[in-house]
Amino acid sequence: MKLGQLLTGLPVIEATADPALEISAVAYDSRKVTPGSLFVAVSGFASDGNRFIPMAMEKGATAVVTAKRPETDIPYVLVESDRLALALLGCNFFHHPAKAMTIIGITGTNGKTSSTLLLKHVLEKTLGAKVGLIGTMANMVGDEIIPTERTTPESFELQALFARMRDGGCTHVVMEVSSHAIALERIGGVRFDVAAFTNLTEDHLDFHKTMDAYCDAKAELFRRCDRGVVNADDAYAPRMLEAKGDGVLTTSVTGNASLWAENQELRADGVAFDACMEGKTVPVKLGIPGKFTISNALTVLGIALELGISLEAAADALADAPGVKGRVEVVPTPGTDYTVLIDYAHTPDGLENVLSSVKGYCKGRLIAVFGCGGDRDPIKRPIMGEIGTRLSDLAIITSDNPRTEDPVKIIEDINRGAVKAGKEFKIVVDRRQAIRCAMSIAEKDDIIVLAGKGHETYQEINGVKHHLDEREEVAAALMEMKG
The per-residue DSSP string of 85-102 comes to HHHHHHHHHTT-GGGGSE
User: What pLDDT shows up at residue 255?
Assistant: 87
At 298-345, the pLDDT tens digits run 999 999 999 999 999 999 999 999 888 898 898 999 999 999 999 999
Q: Dihedral (C-alpha) 84, 88, 90, 91: value to the nearest 10 degrees?
A: 140
Query: Which element (helix H / strand E) includes 131?
Result: strand 131-134
Return the exposure string of 261-285: e unless at least 16 CB atoms fall within 10 Å of the residue's CB, then b. beeeebeeebbbbbbbbeeeebebb
pLDDT band at 14 (very low <50, low <70, confident <90, very high): very high
What mean pLDDT comes out for the span 114-131? 97
CA distances from 392 to 34, 139, 240, 356, 465 (A): 56, 34, 34, 9, 29
pLDDT averaged over every residue in the chain = 94
Size (the chain), residues: 483
User: What pLDDT shows up at residue 482?
Assistant: 87
Q: Flag whether pLDDT at 150 surpasses 80.
A: no
Q: Which domains does the chain have, with CATH numbers?
A: 3-93 (3.40.1390.10), 97-319 (3.40.1190.10), 329-481 (3.90.190.20)
Strand runs (DSSP E) across 209-325, as ranges?
225-231, 248-252, 259-267, 270-277, 280-286
At 360-402, the pLDDT tens digits run 889 999 999 999 999 988 999 999 999 999 999 999 999 999 9
> In this structure, are residues 354 and 383 in contact, taking their beta carbons and an 8 Å threshold?
no
What mean pLDDT comes out for the span 41-49? 80
What does the alpha-carbon distance between residue 328 and residue 47 come to, in Å, rounded to a whole number?
Answer: 39
What mean pLDDT comes out for the span 133-137? 91
Query: Which element (helix H / strand E) includes 174?
Result: strand 172-176
Q: Flag whether pLDDT at 121 surpasses 90.
A: yes
Q: Flag whether pLDDT at 204 surpasses 70.
A: no
Q: Quote the pTM value.
A: 0.84
- Percentage with pLDDT > 70 across the chain: 98
Helices (H), 50-154: 53-58, 82-93, 112-127
Q: Which residues pair with 225 in a beta bridge?
A: 192
Q: Flag whether pLDDT at 208 surpasses 90.
A: no
The one-letter amino acid code at 267 reads R
pLDDT band at 207 (very low <50, low <70, confident <90, very high): low
Q: Flag whether pLDDT at 431 surpasses 60.
A: yes
Instruction: Return the half-sphere exposure (C-beta side, CA atoms, 13 A cut-off) of residue 27.
Output: 22
Q: Flag whether pLDDT at 62 surpasses 70.
A: yes
